[in-house]
């Protein structure tokens, strides 16, 4: 048994926090069961149900970022870091290292592992970092069909990528030097180039006919970049039953083998993975849109990661260990800034009739409610987490919206030049909790002259708000349907910036943009508090979103599951799936 246990830890000494965070005793029990040949034999396949859809291999597009891709593919597409259970980015040294270099501006050297290679045999290279930067930087723009100048990449994020001046890369090299702008020493640079953000640039090159993506990006060849973007935007779309394996090579411990409605998204051990071999050969992911309920009835699902109400017919079997708690994901309404909500007074009117406190009491409480911090009450800040020591100082602006005020809502609506409006609220359904949320809001707002319509669908995506098909999105942080959020609030802040794709309501305020840009490079608490307070004053007046509560999320693990740890962030429970062991 000792030799077998050693084999799990030798060979490659670099082991990330992903393995270390789990209980040593549980790991030892699982390893012992395997090594000693006890009656508890490990299963070769584990089923994992999630409350998001998986319709693309690209988690970085607007709809991809709002889907369940990060829940499903974090160990198929690892990066230089991943989001751990505490909501903070942890370095993943299996992929490589990131080192700050001495320079007069923030300069980071990224070095990919020498033996890093995609499952199709093509080595990882700095080309992949250049592509990730180009897509999110916002530098490559062109007029759309309306004449508006937009990013040619349908990127959901912006953040620190926009602050990078250049990425120095010799095509094919394992090394990249990332140089930030002189005045932009981003405090969260470690979140860049993380899990699901590094995509195979060689696939883009082949599909777009651009032989040298690095040269095209570096030289600003907009025609070539536009061809690359066309594939990046939609070329990785996934349809069950129509998978092209050549388009989805993996650089992680798992790769996609197949994807069908009846059999789920099947991940198998990647034979070319250079790190520790996955503890279980196969993980079958059951996203929305697959036969997850049938799989649960047959006992083929062993891990469930879901918000309350989203997967009511899907469980991990009798005797499962089930935990529910508040997450980093903020349940909220994202509002349009056109149509019935073109005037901010109409958005304020809607917020004033929403029973935020009642919604928290009914749907936001999870377990033992703390006196303060995450899960203690309605969320009153969009730019600071409820567990931030600075949060109490900026949350007071929300007091006007704690309880419904019908008369104030009527006055605001009249001020917008409208007597009555109809608000279509879209979300990914079926979802019992969100349906009930819309029902309560509708009942509360009717007397204010606001008719609320439930516009849920099984194919709903946040981009429908941008397209004018709905007036509000009921979802989590940055309009994500399932798992979302992290401690640094980066996604939440990004979704309020006018230059970011995840800002699906098209909210634009120059001062808010300036504040969000300043927060990226500010670490002094007094300065952060001042900026956040100013931002909240503007945001509760302009009302691009209506935050509700920290979304309760449930993680269920079947009996015999070892080394599985809930992760109430954007990564979901699948953050360490390559360490999972299930014994029966």
pLDDT at position 61, please? 97
Beta strands per DSSP E along 88-187: 89-91, 96-100, 107-112, 141-143, 149-151, 164-168, 175-180
The answer, yes or no, to whether residue 21 has pLDDT greater than 60, is no
Max alpha carbon distance in the chain (Å)?
77
The answer, yes or no, to whether residue 214 has pLDDT greater than 90, is yes
Model pTM greater than 0.85?
yes
The answer, yes or no, to whether residue 24 has pLDDT greater than 80, is no
> Which residue from 221, 223, 290, 229 is spatially nearest to 72, judged by alpha carbons?
290
Rounded mean pLDDT, 534-545: 98
Q: Is 534 left (phi over 0), alpha (psi -120 to 50) or beta?
A: alpha
Rounded mean pLDDT, 279-284: 98
pLDDT at position 385, please? 96
The answer, yes or no, to whether residue 25 has pLDDT greater than 70, is no
516 confidence band (pLDDT: 50, 70, 90)? very high
- The pLDDT tens digits of the residues spanning 234-247 come to 999 999 999 999 99
- List b or e across 237-270, with b for residues whose CB sees 16 or more CB atoms inside 10 angstroms: ebebeebeeebbbbbbbbbbeebeeebbbbbbbb
Dihedral over Cα of 532, 337, 490, 363: its sign: positive
Rounded CA gap, 229 and 208, in Å? Answer: 9
Rounded mean pLDDT, 30-38: 42
Q: How many CB atoms lie within 10 A of CB 24?
A: 9
- The pLDDT tens digits of the residues spanning 382-435 come to 999 999 999 999 999 999 999 999 999 999 999 999 999 999 999 999 999 999
Q: Is 375 helix (H, G, I), strand (E, B) or coil?
A: coil
> Which residue from 579, 539, 537 is spatially nearest to 561, judged by alpha carbons?
579
- The pLDDT tens digits of the residues spanning 85-116 come to 999 999 999 999 999 999 999 999 999 999 99
Which domains are assigned to the chain?
Answer: 2-54+241-324+553-582 (3.40.190.10), 81-234 (3.90.76.10), 328-552 (3.10.105.10)
Task: Name the CA dihedral angle for 413, 418, 513, 425, rounded to a multiple of 10 degrees.
Answer: 80
Retrieve residue 313's tokens.
Answer: 């017919």
39 confidence band (pLDDT: 50, 70, 90)? low
Rounded CA gap, 485 and 3, in Å? Answer: 41
* Residue 305 CA to its chain's centroid (Å): 14
Peptide bond into 297 cis (omega under 30): no
204 confidence band (pLDDT: 50, 70, 90)? very high
Give me the residue label for tokens 């809607």: 350
8 confidence band (pLDDT: 50, 70, 90)? very low
């Amino acid at each position: 048994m000792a030799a077998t246990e050693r084999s799990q830890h030798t060979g490659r000494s670099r082991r990330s926090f992903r393995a270390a965070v789990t209980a040593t005793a549980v790991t030892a029990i699982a390893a012992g069961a395997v090594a000693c040949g006890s009656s508890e034999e490990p299963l070769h396949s584990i089923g994992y149900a999630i409350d998001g859809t998986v319709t693309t291999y690209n988690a970085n597009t607007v709809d991809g970022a709002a889907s369940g891709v990060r829940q499903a593919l974090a160990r198929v597409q690892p990066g230089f870091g991943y989001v751990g259970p505490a909501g903070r980015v942890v370095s993943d040294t299996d992929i490589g290292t990131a080192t700050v270099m001495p320079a007069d501006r923030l300069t980071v050297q990224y070095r990919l592992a020498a033996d890093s290679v995609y499952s199709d045999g093509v080595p990882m290279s700095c080309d992949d970092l250049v592509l990730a930067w180009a897509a999110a930087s916002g530098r490559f723009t062109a007029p759309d069909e309306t004449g508006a100048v937009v990013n040619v990449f349908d990127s959901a994020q912006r953040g620190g990528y926009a602050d990078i001046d250049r990425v120095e890369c010799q095509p094919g090299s394992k090394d990249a030097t990332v140089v930030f702008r002189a005045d932009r020493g981003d405090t969260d640079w470690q979140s860049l180039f993380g899990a699901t953000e590094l995509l195979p640039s060689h696939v883009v090159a082949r599909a777009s006919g651009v032989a040298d993506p690095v040269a095209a990006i570096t030289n600003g060849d907009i025609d070539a970049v536009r061809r690359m973007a066309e594939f990046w935007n939609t070329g990785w779309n996934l349809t069950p039953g129509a998978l092209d394996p050549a388009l989805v090579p993996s650089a992680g411990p798992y790769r996609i083998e197949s994807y069908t409605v009846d059999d789920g998204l099947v991940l198998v051990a990647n034979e070319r993975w250079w790190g520790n071999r996955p503890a279980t050969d196969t993980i079958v992911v059951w996203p929305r849109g697959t036969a997850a309920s049938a799989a649960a009835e047959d006992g083929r699902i062993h891990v469930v990661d879901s918000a309350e109400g989203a997967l009511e017919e899907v469980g991990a079997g009798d005797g499962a260990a089930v935990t529910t708690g508040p997450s980093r994901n903020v349940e909220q309404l994202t509002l349009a800034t056109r149509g019935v909500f073109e005037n901010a007074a109409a958005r304020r009117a809607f917020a004033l009739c929403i029973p935020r406190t009642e919604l928290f009491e009914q749907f936001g409480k999870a377990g033992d409610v703390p006196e303060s911090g995450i899960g203690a009450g309605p969320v009153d800040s969009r730019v600071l987490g409820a567990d931030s020591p600075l949060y109490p100082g900026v949350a007071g602006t929300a007091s006007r919206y704690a309880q419904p005020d019908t008369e104030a809502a009527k006055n605001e609506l009249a001020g917008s030049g409208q007597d009555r409006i109809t608000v279509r609220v879209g979300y990914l359904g079926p979802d019992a909790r969100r349906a009930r949320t819309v029902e309560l809001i509708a009942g509360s707002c009717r007397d204010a002259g606001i008719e609320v319509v439930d516009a849920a669908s099984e194919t709903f995506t946040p981009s429908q708000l941008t397209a004018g098909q709905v007036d509000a999105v009921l979802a989590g942080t940055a309009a994500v349907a399932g798992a979302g959020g992290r401690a640094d609030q980066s996604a939440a802040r990004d979704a309020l910036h006018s230059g970011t794709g995840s800002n699906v309501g098209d909210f634009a305020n120059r001062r808010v943009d300036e504040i969000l840009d300043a927060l990226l490079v500010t670490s002094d608490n007094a300065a952060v508090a001042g900026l956040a307070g100013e931002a909240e004053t503007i945001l509760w007046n302009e009302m691009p979103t209506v935050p509700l509560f920290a979304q309760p999320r449930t993680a269920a693990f079947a009996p015999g599951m070892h080394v599985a740890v809930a992760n109430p962030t954007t990564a979901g429970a699948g953050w360490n799936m390559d360490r999972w062991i299930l014994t029966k």
